[in-house]
């Protein structure tokens, strides 16, 4: 069976350059691999240097160009320098996946100010800082696609997660505001909202809550599609937003959670 090339071309990212934050593991790594599999060259950003270097090697093994840069997304100077390095290395930036994230499972009384600032900084300020530096290059290049990682808790509150819920709720409306501002520049801005995904971040939540990991993961799988998500589940949604398949989609919020919010 031969597929219509016009259809496959809609998903192709051949010749595109994508920045992925939180790219050393989890959703970031899974998405970096998926984007590379359809032709993108990848700039991987993370604070974990050893895993980041390994991740870049995985992209090169697929046959695409890849560079890892250590970047703290809460640092304006890091985001500025990384953006400049990416443009110097690859010549342009077509796709930005703002994915770096962190959580602290505490209520507002338990949470200290440092933890509040950290969670808001990584999950929300990081999107502002990197987008602030990347968007001018996208404008110069004639457009681009920005995908922000929200959460099911962007749309509904959750227990013992006040800073995370606040940050991820902000991501959704930040996405909408960016889409309004930059549609005229041919820059699409969308948000993917994962449910519980089998990453180290999710297992760390069990530790923070003092719960048995197996029990915690069983509870996380209690949804209409009875499993936790995989990084690839989220990567496929990001690919949709990054590709021409979503050419008239901006300011959109896509929940990918196995039906967790449906009930």
Q: What angle do CA 228, 112, 22 make, to 5 degrees?
A: 40
Of 68, 69, 97, 164, the active-site residue reads 164
Length of the chain, in residues:
263
Radius of gyration of the chain (CA): 18
Q: Annotated catalytic, 128?
A: no
The bridge status of strand 253-256 relative to strand 95-98 is unpaired
Give the H/E segment covering residue 18. strand 17-21
DSSP 3-state assignment of 26?
helix
**CB-count burial class (<10 Å; 0-12, 13-18, 19+) for 224:** exposed
Closest to 168 in 3D by CA, of 257, 241, 248, 75: 257
Q: How far apart are CA 101 and CA 119, in angstroms?
A: 8
The two tokens of residue 143 are 């457009």
- How is residue 122 annotated by DSSP? I
Beta carbons within 10 angstroms of residue 203's beta carbon: 12
48 secondary structure, DSSP code: -
C-alpha span between 115 and 169 (Å, rounded): 17
Q: Catalytic residue positions?
A: 164
């Amino acid at each position: 069976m031969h597929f219509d090339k016009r259809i496959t071309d809609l998903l192709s990212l051949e010749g595109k350059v994508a920045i992925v934050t939180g790219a050393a593991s989890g959703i970031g790594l899974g998405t970096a691999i998926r984007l590379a599999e359809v032709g993108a060259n990848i700039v991987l950003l993370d604070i974990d240097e050893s895993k980041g270097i390994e991740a870049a090697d995985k992209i090169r093994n697929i046959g695409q160009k890849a560079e890892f840069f250590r970047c703290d997304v809460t640092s304006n100077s890091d985001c500025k320098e990384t953006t400049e390095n990416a443009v110097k290395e690859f010549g342009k930036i077509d796709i930005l996946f703002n994915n770096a994230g962190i959580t602290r499972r505490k209520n507002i009384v338990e949470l200290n100010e440092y933890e509040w600032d950290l969670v808001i900084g990584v999950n929300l300020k990081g999107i502002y800082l990197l987008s602030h530096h990347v968007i001018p290059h996208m404008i110069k290049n004639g457009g681009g696609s920005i995908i922000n990682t929200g959460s099911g808790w962007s749309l509904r509150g959750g227990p013992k997660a006040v800073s995370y819920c606040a940050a991820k709720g902000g991501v959704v409306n930040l996405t909408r505001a960016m889409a309004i501002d930059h549609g005229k520049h041919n820059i699409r801005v969308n948000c993917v909202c994962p449910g519980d995904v089998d990453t180290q971040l999710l297992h760390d939540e069990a530790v923070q809550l003092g719960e048995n990991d197996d029990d915690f993961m069983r509870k996380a799988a209690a949804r209409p599609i009875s499993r936790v998500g995989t990084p690839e589940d989220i990567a496929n949604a990001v690919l949709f937003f990054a590709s021409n398949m979503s050419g008239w989609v901006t300011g959109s919020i896509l929940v990918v959670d196995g039906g967790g919010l449906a009930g």
